[in-house]
């Protein structure tokens, strides 16, 4: 069984540790947990990990957020991975800070990375782990907010949630999406 784990974000030092890059942070944490390193690959930084007979291809697209679908489509085809074995990790303004919400499929929710993935793959039938970044910004300042760095208080809330997100990725492959949603969706809001 092979799984494609996609952490969404933007490459470059100016985007490191910004709210929009929480997908990269979780992908890094999962790679660290599995003791694997990212290497430069086509359209993405790529790491490969195994767990109990499952293979994980972990990618952080290097195409920038708005073109994430190009990287996802390439690696999906290259590794021959079906949409139901894909998990996209993405920031979500509509969720309170630190809330983790796993979904089997769904809309793009206005997220440019998800819009690109849906356009390129032609499907919404892939799992996504949405991580709440809150919406503490004045009208008209959404872009500034998502591209700004976390405060120390926000980091305190988020750090334990990143560890839970790593467990969600493992469970997604080991017990399936439905059981993982039952196990974690309510728990992550506590």
User: Token pair of 24, please?
Assistant: 């990269």
* Long-range contacts of the stretch 139-146 (C-beta < 8 A, 24+): 142/93, 145/19, 145/93, 146/18, 146/19, 146/20, 146/91, 146/93
The whole-angstrom separation of Cα 118 and Cα 67 is 11
Distant-in-sequence, close-in-space partners of 100: CB < 8 Å, separation ≥ 6 = 129, 130, 131, 132, 161, 164, 165, 168, 184, 185, 188, 189
Which among 86, 74, 72, 78 is positioned nearest to 1, based on CA atoms? 86
> Mapping DSSP to helix (H, G, I), strand (E, B) and coil, where does residue 39 land?
strand
Of 7, 8, 10, 20, which one is the catalytic site residue?
A: 20
170 and 129 Cβ atoms separated by less than 8 Å = no
Q: Does the annotation count 111 as an active-site position?
A: no
The whole-angstrom separation of Cα 114 and Cα 103 is 13
List the catalytic residues.
20
């Amino acid at each position: 069984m092979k799984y494609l784990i996609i952490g969404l974000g933007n490459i470059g030092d100016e985007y490191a540790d910004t709210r929009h890059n929480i997908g990269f942070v979780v992908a890094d944490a999962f790679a660290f947990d599995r003791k694997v390193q990212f290497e430069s690959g086509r359209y993405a930084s790529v790491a490969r990990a195994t767990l109990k007979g499952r293979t994980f291809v972990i990618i952080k697209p290097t195409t920038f957020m708005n073109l994430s679908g190009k990287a996802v489509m390439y690696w999906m085809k290259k590794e021959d991975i079906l949409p139901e074995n894909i998990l996209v990790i993405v920031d979500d303004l509509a969720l309170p800070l630190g809330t983790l919400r796993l979904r089997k499929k769904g809309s793009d929710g206005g997220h440019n990375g998800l819009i690109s993935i849906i356009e390129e793959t032609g499907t919404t039938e892939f799992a996504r782990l949405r991580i709440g970044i809150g919406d503490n910004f004045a009208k008209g300042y959404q872009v500034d907010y998502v591209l700004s760095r976390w405060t120390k208080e926000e980091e305190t809330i988020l750090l334990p949630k990143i560890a839970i997100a790593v467990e969600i990725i493992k469970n997604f492959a080991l017990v399936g999406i439905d059981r993982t949603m039952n196990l974690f969706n309510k728990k992550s809001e506590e």
